[in-house]
Chain A
Amino acid sequence: MGVAVTIETVFFGIFSLGALAGAVAMFFLRHPMRVALALIGTMLSLAAIYAQLGLHVIAVFQVLIYVGAVMVFMIYAIMLLDVRDRSFTERFSPLLVAGLAGLLLLVGVLVDGLLRGEPVVTPVIREDVFSVGTFAAVFMDEFWVYFALAAVLLLVAEIAASAVIDIRRRGEDLAAARREKLDE
């Protein structure tokens, strides 16, 4: 069609490459910490893409929630569980070949699907629609029930997490008691 390559497209390409590179790197990195860093790279690239799409609120949340909360939590877990076991020495599961074959299959199907489908119209960036103010107004006017539900979900998750940790503590106590018994 001879569409001129705009500056937007260039940036899209760069950040897409960044995201994909992070994802591919996740495959080969041995240490979980590095995997986490690669994932963070991917997420930041995605946040950049969201921003470029005009979804500034989403981009902010991507950085705040994903990178700021989820991945930090993950990194804590990684640091807590610095186990040099078989999962460390052998990176790949026995299903490596089958998994790669599956990857080829899935990518083939996706590509096939995309080529078959109609080309999607180029996005029109409308700053005003997705400004923080609009987003907040919509959220509080129309979707406040879902907002409340999300809050409830978070609360439940928090309670569940602390319950799990409580179990763990009691398990430790039991294990300690058993160990004492064995020592006697």
Chain B
Amino acid sequence: MSDANLLLAVSGMLFALGLVGVVVRRNLLVMLMFLELMLNGVLLSLAVFTQLLGAEAGAVLMFLVFVVAAAEIAIAVPIVLLLVRAGRTLDPGSYAGLKG
């Protein structure tokens, strides 16, 4: 098993763990962090392929993904703050009534 395969497997595992973490953890902030974990897993495979192909565009893309992640968290965290102000809990089960 080559290094690349090892890294790709790690990438997939990180993604899978992130996704399942979103499913099983109850805390909203923790769920957000698992989302970041998923993104990191994906970025790892992007890095591996960037390296393999020697493409600068891949590195640029990774940088842009960092920017998007930062923007995402900048929006998500205030929303969570708002939710907690209204519902006084971090349990998303308590906000099921928001389905409309």
Q: Chain A residues in contact with chain B, CB under 8 A?
A: 3, 8-9, 12-13, 16, 19-20, 23-24, 26-27, 32, 35-36, 39, 42-43, 46, 49-50, 53-55, 57-58, 61-62, 65-66, 69-71, 73-74, 77-78, 80-81, 83, 85-88, 90-96, 98-100, 102-103, 106-107, 110-111, 114, 119-123, 125-126, 129-130, 134-135, 138-139, 142-143, 146, 150, 153-154, 156-158, 160-161, 164-165, 167-168, 171-172
Contact = CB atoms under 8 A, between A and B. Distances in A.
Contacts of B29: 32, 74, 77-78, 81
A88 B28 CA distance: 10
Interface in B30-69: 30, 32-34, 36-37, 40, 43-44, 47-48, 50-52, 54, 56-57, 59-60, 62-64, 66-69
Contacts of A42: 14, 37, 40
Interface of B: 1-10, 12-14, 16-21, 23-30, 32-34, 36-37, 40, 43-44, 47-48, 50-52, 54, 56-57, 59-60, 62-64, 66-75, 77-82, 84-86, 88-91, 93-94
A134 B43 CA distance: 21
B7 A93 contact: no
